[in-house]
Structure formats: C-alpha cells, structure tokens
Amino acid sequence: MTTERVYADRSAGGLALAELVRERSWVDPVVLGLARGGVPVAAEVASALHAPLGVAVSRKIGSPGHPEFGIGAVTPHGPVVWDERSLDLLGLTHDDLEPVVERERREALRRLDLYQGDREPERLEGRDVIVVDDGLATGVTARAALRSLRESRPRTLVFAAPVCAPQAIPALREEADSVLCVSEPPFFQAVGQWYSDFSQVDDDEVVALLDRYAGGTDRYSGGGR
C-alpha cells in the first residue's frame, strides 16, 4: 500500500489493483464492478484472476439542494444505508427522503436490468466475491452494495479499489470481510484527483465489458474511451 499515486486512467488503476489482489489466494472468485466507474477497473482484476466479471449497482441518495453530498445509498433490492450523523446534522429523517429513495431505487433497477441483459447472474453463495470500484470516498454507496450482496451468502466479501480515503475504510470494514486499497493518500478530496483521465463511463461501455468478460476467459486490455 502506498500513500500517494496518480493513475493514467481506470485501466491503469485496475492493473495496479490486480497486482495487489493476486497476492492473495481465492476460492472460486467472482469480481463485481460497482457501476459505472468501477466496471473498467474490475475488468482488469477479473482478467488477472481468470474470474467472471459481473456488476453491482448502488445509487447515492443526495442531500436536498446538494445532491452531490451523499447521505445514504440504495441498491435495486437491498436495504437503504444511511449516514445517520449527516441526517442528524441536517435535521432530516428517513421519511423526508422517501421520494428520493424510491426514485434512486427505480434507477438502480433500470441499470441492473440493462447491464445484466439476458445473462444469468453469477452464483455468489460459497464463493469469494470481490467488489471493485474506481475509488473510495465516503463509502456510502459501497456499504449499501456490500450489505445487499451479503444476503447471497458469499464465502468472503471483499471491497477493493486503487485509491481510498483513509477515513472511510473503518466504516466499510463493518460490511466487508476485508478492504484492499493500493493507495491511501492522507489528503484525499475526491476520487477524480487521483486519475489523469477520469472520463465518465457510460452504459454502453459497461454493457460491452460485461458482454465480453462475463465468462472470465478473455483478457481486458483497457482503453476504448
């Protein structure tokens, strides 16, 4: 683990993360990219492990008037995860945000249906499941994804990213069996500051990657943006 590292793009971040992940032994692993930005990173990890690539969807619930500030997150089917401290500071209740929760859950369902397509979802029970994102900032969307995936009874549930805010890791360890980070820079403001190219990943790229690498037999070479 290094303290500071800037990646050329998500593919480069994925290659660095793959080196770290390969240091461990895994039992029948499956790699899930957290959509959307985590999928190109996860493709490199899945390729390195010769493991199938799948997707996990988690949607941030933003603060009223400041949607970029996440105070919770929701998945297509799992429970809502709240940042209770932020809710208290803002004087908000769960009921106040129910319309936002329902809207984001519908969007999560739409994305999951789009990404999954006609493919059968990977079986997770009894397997090592590695959830990959391009970075860990507050961790609220990752926590929601992990909590939902835990219901599938994986052998182990791991979160992995090329760069992580150190202060977000302890809370994430409450949901994951372990957290793997290549870099934990002390002056972390946003995930994008640790990538030279942090272009938005669109739905078409996610679908293309899943179509190509879902079986775990091909090699993802990066690029494509």
Reported as a single tens digit per residue, the pLDDT across 166-192 is 999 999 999 999 999 999 999 998 999
pLDDT per position as a tens digit, 45-89 = 999 999 999 999 999 998 888 877 789 999 998 889 998 888 898
Domain 10-57+121-213, CATH: 3.40.50.2020
Q: Is residue 192 a contact partner of residue 198, using CB atoms and an 8 Å limit?
A: yes
Domain boundaries, the chain: 10-57+121-213
pLDDT at 223 over 50: no
| Three-class DSSP category at 24 | coil
The answer to whether residues 34 and 172 touch, using CB atoms and an 8 Å cutoff, is no
For residue 1, what pLDDT band results from cuts at 50, 70 and 90?
Answer: low
pLDDT of residue 38: 98
- Better pLDDT: 67 or 164: 164
Residue-level pLDDT at 119? 87
Residues 13 and 134 sit within 8 Å (Cβ to Cβ): yes
Residue 103: count of CB within 10 angstroms of its CB: 13
In order, the DSSP letters of 31-78 are EEEETTTHHHHHHHHHHHHT--EEEE--EEEEETTEEEEEEEEE-SSS
Predicted local confidence at residue 219, as pLDDT: 44
Is a pLDDT exceeding 50 seen at residue 220? no
Length of the chain, in residues: 225
Predicted structure pTM score = 0.91
pLDDT at 217 over 70: no
Place of tokens 């052998």: 155
Q: What pLDDT, on the 0 to 100 scale, is given for residue 221?
A: 46
Q: What is the pLDDT of residue 67?
A: 77
What mean pLDDT value characterizes the chain?
91
Residues 6+ apart with CB under 8 A from 143: 73, 81, 171, 172, 174, 175
